[in-house]
Amino acid sequence: MLGTDLVTALLEADHEVTGLGRADLDITDAAAVAAAVAGHDVVVNCAAWTAVDDAETHEDAAFAVNATGAGLLADACAASGARLVHLSTDYVVGGEPAGTPVSSEAALSPVGAYGRTKAAGERAVRASGADALVVRTAWLYGGHGPCFPRTMARLARERDLLRVVDDQVGQPTWTVDVAGLVLRLLAAKAPAGTYHATSSGWTSWYELALEVVRAIGRDTDMVDPISSEEFARPAPRPSWSVLSHDSLKAIGVAPIGPWRLRWAEAADDVLAEA
Ligand SMILES: NC(=O)c1ccc[n+]([C@@H]2O[C@H](COP(=O)([O-])OP(=O)(O)OC[C@H]3O[C@@H](n4cnc5c(N)ncnc54)[C@H](OP(=O)(O)O)[C@@H]3O)[C@@H](O)[C@H]2O)c1
């Protein structure tokens, strides 16, 4: 989902790009990774095991991609001198108390198997010695993959009632905006470190569902708020997924902007074929 929009953004900015999907490169294959990285100035790793619930029962397989694969890419970048942009997630810092946006300097406190494998990926990237930007995002939506708004739009057309969790809070973020921020970080020659690529402000899944239902012209009365307990899932979810943009502000790079304004801009594109 993110990789597609990132390649588009790089091409629009007149960069030469090699866009590799899973069929082109398995990031757990060290020799293939080294060969793919060779000759490139920058590598952006959007590849991941992103099935959060399945990771609970397949943690080794998730670890292979999210930790081992990330480490192999970082080692190859360190060896070749390429800059690495490694995508990570709010699930690596899910233990923070609610109320304050989580600093990019906060200690890792992963949530669930997915969070553990992504945290191990961050550690592998930092340990590699590569010139790396760890870019954490959250609550991603986009036009090129399954995501919450597209699922809600489909369900709203199929059903009379949607019950949506109202006690998990986060920052809905458009893949196009993450791509734009990655480009700004590269253009600014941002120092190696951790940056948060999320919209600002925060909302709940329930409130986001209301926005989606409104965007497709349905009555918001069809959406009922429920608690996480009422919607049991295999993997735990962070209840407070609100990331601070402190490290962006410190280097003078503009963050993405308020989630509601960005959603208003994105909705037609994201829901086009949903
Ligand atoms: N989606 C979110 O809400 C969210 C939130 C926070 C952070 N993130 C992070 O943002 C990044 C991009 O997420 P996304 O939503 O764009 O993910 P996505 O749509 O699931 O894309 C991940 C891609 O990685 C590929 N992949 C899996 N294993 C691979 C391997 N061994 N070698 C090469 N490619 C492999 C997948 O291929 P297959 O489809 O064939 O498996 C898929 O094309 C990830 O680092 C993710 O952890 C996402």
Tell me what the mean pLDDT of segment 25-46 comes to.
98
Do 70 and 86 form a contact (C-beta atoms < 8 A)?
Answer: yes
pLDDT at 99: 87
Establish whether residue 47 lines the binding site of ligand 1, counting it when its CB lies within 6 angstroms of any ligand atom.
Answer: yes
Closest among 185, 195, 198 to 257, alpha carbons compared: 198
Mutate which of 46, 73, 152 for ligand 1 pocket (most atoms within 8 A of beta carbon): 46
CA-proximal residue: ligand 1, atom 12 (nearest): 46
Residue 179 has pLDDT above 80, yes or no: yes
Mean pLDDT of 189-199: 98
The residue among 76, 87, 113 whose CA lies nearest residue 195 is: 87
* pLDDT(274) > 80: no
Tell me the DSSP string of the chain: -HHHHHHHHHHHTT-------TTT--TT-HHHHHHHHTT-SEEEE------HHHHHH-HHHHHIIIIIIHHHHHHHHHHHT-EEEEEEEGGGBTTSPTTSPBPTTSPPB--HHHHHHHHHHHHHHHHTT-EEEEEEE-SEE-TTS--HHHHHHHHHHH-S-EEEE-S-EE--EEHHHHHHHHHHHHHTTPPSEEEE---BS-EEHHHHHHHHHHHTT--GGGEEEE-GGGS--SS---SEE-B--HHHHHTT-----BHHHHHHHHHHHHHTT-
Residues of the chain with pLDDT > 90, as a percent, come to 97
- The alpha carbon of 214 and the centre of ligand 1 are apart by a number of angstroms equal to 29
pLDDT, average across residues 7-33: 97
Q: Which atom of ligand 1 is nearest to the CA of 50?
A: 20
The pLDDT of 162-191, averaged and rounded, is 97
Q: Is the pLDDT of residue 217 over 90?
A: yes
Q: Give the model's pLDDT for residue 125.
A: 98
- Could you report the per-residue pLDDT of 71-111, keeping only the tens digit for each? 999 999 999 999 999 999 999 998 667 889 999 999 999 99
The per-residue pLDDT for 61 is 98
Label residue 175 by pLDDT band (50, 70, 90): very high
For residues 137-143, give the mean pLDDT: 98
Q: Taking the complete model, does pTM exceed 0.85, yes or no?
A: yes
Q: Look over the chain and give the mean of its residue pLDDT values, rounded to a whole number.
A: 97
Q: 160: CA distance to ligand 1 center in Å?
A: 32
